[in-house]
Amino acid sequence: MTSDRRAALFDVDGTLVDSTYLHAVAWWEAFRQAGHRVPTAAIHRTVGMGADHLIGHLLGPDRDRGDDAAISAAHKTLFAAYWSRLEPLDGAADLLRACARRGWTVVLASSAGGRELSALRAALDAEDALTAVTGADDVEASKPSPDLVEQALERAGTEPGRAVFVGDTVWDMKAGARAGVPCVGVLSGGYCRSELLDAGAREVYEGPAELLARLDSSLLT
């Protein structure tokens, strides 16, 4: 480990790319196709989890687990229809580049994987600022498990106390806290300030644009 290296770790969906509510709609339709009526508001509260946690959280432990793979696959197919229309949130790419210029090792830590993660990266269009990327394909358990954050730390070559994790959901904050990494929350995924603070955020900003504007007074100074 290179303990003097600082790492800025970023969630992607809802933090850097405006995709949270598209995921909610895609999950709603995936559940409907499988015969489950799940309110969109309830789904929104779980976006940020990986499918390995999300389906069980919404349908409960007594569900027919044999449907899980089909529901997850349907969500991926439905969300893929939005790939070409994904947009970065204001200031997102500039935020990553500003962190890189300040000497931070910038790593994405996303619950997405495969082609979906590639589509998110294409929409973000900030490859020049990235040192590494970790996604669902790289770990056994997704957020709120700490695996993604711990994998991002390993790829950054640093320790939890030398990193900051930026995310938009309580699941991001819980994952970061479990990995021992200080967390910064953004409101662009639809969670409120108090929820993110209660889940472990040290600071909360409206979105990447405000964090960028206040970078020098933030944990990412």
Q: Determine the average pLDDT of the residues in 188-201.
A: 97
Q: Determine the average pLDDT of the residues in 119-146.
A: 95
User: How high is the pLDDT of residue 4?
Assistant: 79
Looking at every residue in the chain, the average pLDDT score rounds to 95
Q: Determine the average pLDDT of the residues in 171-198.
A: 97
User: How high is the pLDDT of residue 1?
Assistant: 46
- HEC-encoded secondary structure of 95-118: HHHHHHHCCCEEEEECCCCHHHHH
Distance CA 61, CA 55 (A): 9
pLDDT at 219 over 70: yes
Alpha helices (runs of H) in 6-135, residue ranges in sequence order: 20-33, 40-44, 51-59, 68-80, 92-101, 114-124
Q: Per the structure block, which two tokens stand in for 118?
A: 């590639």
Q: Determine the average pLDDT of the residues in 113-138.
A: 96
Q: Determine the average pLDDT of the residues in 120-136.
A: 97
Domain parsing of the chain, residue ranges? 7-19+86-217, 20-81
Q: Determine the average pLDDT of the residues in 76-105.
A: 98
| Residue 3 pLDDT level (bands cut at 50, 70, 90) | low
C-alpha distances (whole Å) from 158 to each of 2, 98, 107, 109 are 5, 19, 11, 15
CATH class of 7-19+86-217: alpha beta
Q: Determine the average pLDDT of the residues in 67-84.
A: 97
Q: Determine the average pLDDT of the residues in 43-64.
A: 92
User: How high is the pLDDT of residue 29?
Assistant: 98
Of the given ranges (7-16, 122-131, 135-144), which has the lowest mean pLDDT? 135-144
